[in-house]
Every structure is written in structure tokens, then in C-alpha cells.
Amino acid sequence: MDHAATRETALARIAAAQDLGALEALRVEFLGKQGSISGLMKTLGAMSPDERQAKAPQIQALRESVSDALTAAKDALEGAALEAQLARETIDLSLPAPDAPRGTIHPVSQVMDELAEIFADMGFAVATGPEIEDDWHNFTALNMPDNHPARAMHDTFYFPNEMASGGRKMLLRTHTSPVQIRAMIAGGAPIRIIAPGRVYRSDSDATHTPMFHQVEGLVIDKGITLGHLKWTLETFLKAYFEREDIVLRLRPSYFPFTEPSVEVDVGFALVNGKRVLGGSGDAPDHGWMELLGSGMVNRKVIAAGGLDPDEWQGFAFGVGVDRLAMLKYGMDDLRAFFDGDVRWLAHYGFSPLDVPTLSAGVGARA
């Protein structure tokens, strides 16, 4: 068969190919390693120079036109396939969206966002620390040396001794207070931080879960007094509970990491047997509820953080985030917080669009 006839047949077959698979089969048949046109190319080697000079351009032109035809046919088939797909996949935007499962913001996340918003307004940054801590940060640096009785009160989850690092035993942090030490060491003074996060204790009943949440507060500066502490807590609690009549009572207490230490109670009223925060706890039908621990940062803690306690003073506080959530949003069983029951989450969760802001009120709308 002469080259012109070969070309005619090849081009006709390419034009008739219905799909990409058929086209690929033709490419292999003509131009593949064992292909007919590739075979013609191989005959050039055996020709005399004169013959080759005459035949080579013809064979090359044949190969080129077949190759071009294959490419053009492939483009056309692909274009047609895309057109067909686009025509098939039209979406009617006027149809109602299908009912998709909707998530909610967990009350703990909501409260943490509210805390960050309130404290940011007072100049506090949010700090974090590891949940897997060492006993130096969790205890020793907080003035709880080995054998200190307060260590025993924490029902600590320890890791096996083989996992000790640099002579320090590893544990799940029992409170957020070690972030105080990490903040001082990492950033020096002055400091204004809150540190919200998970903490762990081996304890479990209706009001205790092995994992729960705390928020730590720490201010380190010059000339800091208990007055600053009380104002800060009052301002925070009024903004958080969205009530101007929040009344605090400071009671002397003991924490190893603060000196003096104060336990902070907040006044509530008994309304139909329910506790409603607000008013002095000393008024008739009122009482005091213990809410948080705080105090002036112990000199030894400031020194453990690498700062000079003659130069820097500060206050600290720690409060349960889950407890704050229960008091504001009315849940009464802590364990349900961590069950992951979607019915509970749908009921107590918050809209992702309801971002707490001071201007709109930090509390979520029902």
C-alpha cells in the first residue's frame, strides 16, 4: 500500500473513533513501538542513502499527519465529554438545601471564648501550656516540694517512672497553675495572662470528672496589691454573669503558691429553691457560694519563674470553667459535658455564628 492510501485509511479510522479508548488503541496500532508506521520508520535504516533521501520525508509526513489527527481527535472527544458532564451536572440553586446535620459549639468552648473576650478587654493575653507536664512545673516550682502534703490532695495521674525526663516525673497536669511558671520563664515580667485548658485528676462522681477545665489568671507587675485582684475579679464576674449586682466575699485561705491566699465567694439569692447569683450573701434568703481560689503570688513562685520577688509582685487566680458554664447556663450534671450525647449538645450547645463580644454582650442568646 502506498503512503497516501495508508494515510487515507488511518485518518478515516481515527475520524470514526467513538471514544478515547478506541483512539488510544489506534495510536498504539499506528505509532506504538510495534505500530505499522513505526515499522515503516524502521525500514529507513536498511535503505541506500538515495532511497532513504527519497522515502524519509514521505514516511515522516505520514507519521506527522497521523499523529496530528490523533491529537485533534483526542481534543475533540475530551471537549465533548466535558460538555456532556457540564450539561449533566447542572444544579438548581432555587431548590431548598438538603437537611444537613448541624454542629454546635460546646458550652465549655463558648465559656472559654467569653473569658478570652472579657480578659482581652482588660489587657490579658491567652497563654497555654502542655497537658503532659513534669512534676517540677506542676508542683515544685509552685512551692509544693516533694512530700508536700498538698501534692497528695491532687489525686495525680503519674506516668511510669521510666518516662521521667531530666530527673522530673511526668504527669497529667492537675491544674492550670504550671502555666504561671512557664509564662514567667518564657516571657519575663510584666505579665497579664489567662490560661484556659484541660486538667486531670483521678476523681469521678456527679460533680467530678477525671478531666475537667480550669482557667488560670496571672498578673505580674510592680506595686500589685490585693485591691487589683479584687477589682479584676469583680469586673470579670460582672461581665461574665452580665449582672451589675455581683457581690464578692474574700475569705482567708491557703494555697502553697499564693501568700496571702484568698478564697472568693459570690453572693446568691434563693429564688423558688434555685440559686441565682447576685446581691450580698448576707441578705435574707441569700447565701455565699465558693467560686474560686486566688491570692498574691508567693515570693518563692516568682523566684522559681526566674524573677526577682523584691522587684515584681503579682496576683493569681484559678477557677473551674465547667463550673462557670453550669452556673451561667443551667446544666446540673458535669458528667454530661463529656458524654458526647448529640441530644445534650443540641440542647446546651451554641450557634457557631454567636461569637461573644463585649459590645453585644458576651452571653450567648438562647
Assess contact for 350 and 104: CB atoms under 8 A.
yes
Strand partners, 192: 219
| 197 touches ligand DAH (CB under 6 A) | no
- Which is nearer to ligand DAH, 295 or 356 (by Cβ)? 295
Grid cell at residue 247:
457581690
Single residue of 136, 258, 307, 337 touching ligand DAH by CB under 6 A: 258
> Is the CB of residue 153 less than 8 Å from the CB of residue 198?
no
Question: Does the footprint of ligand DAH cover residue 216 (CB under 6 A)?
Answer: yes
Stretch that binds ligand DAH, among 83-91, 279-287, 292-300, 342-350 (CB under 6 A): 292-300
User: At its nearest, how many Å lie between ligand DAH and the CB of residue 152?
Assistant: 13
C-beta of residue 278 within 8 angstroms of C-beta of residue 267: yes
Minimum distance between the CB of residue 352 and ligand DAH, rounded to whole angstroms? 30
Dihedral, CA atoms, 226, 229, 231, 232, nearest 10 degrees?
170
305 makes contact with ligand DAH (CB under 6 A): no
Residue (124 or 350) nearer to ligand DAH, CB: 124
Report the residue number, 104 or 180, with the smaller CB distance to ligand DAH. 180
293 binds ligand DAH (CB under 6 A): yes
Q: With binding defined as CB under 6 A, does residue 267 bind ligand DAH?
A: no
Picking from 193, 299, 313, 292, the residue whose alpha carbon sits closest to that of residue 250 is: 292
Work out how close the CB of 360 gets to ligand DAH at its nearest, in angstroms, rounded to a whole number: 30
Q: 306-315: b or e for each residue (b if 16 or more CB lie within 10 Å)?
A: ebebeebbbb
| 212 lies in the site for ligand DAH, by CB under 6 A | no
207 to 106, 255, 334: CA distances (angstroms) = 18, 22, 6
DSSP-assigned states of every residue in 157-189: -BPPGGG-BTTB-EEE-SSSTHHHHHHHHHH-S
Asked if 265 touches ligand DAH (CB under 6 A), the answer is: no
Note whether 323 binds ligand DAH by CB under 6 A: no
How many residues of this chain interact with ligand DAH, rule: CB under 6 A?
Answer: 11
| Shortest distance, position 258 Cβ to ligand DAH, whole Å | 4
Residue tagged 489587657 (cell numbers): 123
Question: Of the ranges 20-28, 39-47, 108-116, 312-320, which one interacts with ligand DAH (CB under 6 A)?
Answer: 312-320
Nearer Cβ to ligand DAH (293/305)? 293
List Cα–Cα distances, 256 to 29, 73, 82, 179, 249, in angstroms. 87, 83, 72, 16, 21
Task: Examine residue 156 and tell whether it contacts ligand DAH (CB under 6 A).
Answer: no
**Residue 119 in the binding site for ligand DAH (CB under 6 A):** no
313 binds ligand DAH (CB under 6 A): no
Chosen residue from 175, 192, 213, 328 binding ligand DAH by CB under 6 A: 175
Q: Is 298 in the site for ligand DAH (CB under 6 A)?
A: no
d(CA 355, CA 364): 8
> Which residue's entry shows cell 479584676?
232
What is the closest distance, in whole angstroms, from the C-beta atom of residue 189 to ligand DAH in the complex? 16
Q: Which residue has the cell 520508520?
A: 41
Smallest distance, ligand DAH to C-beta of residue 320, A: 8
Find the length of the chain. Answer: 366
**Which residues of the chain form contacts with ligand DAH (CB under 6 A)?**
175, 177, 216, 255, 258, 293-295, 316-318
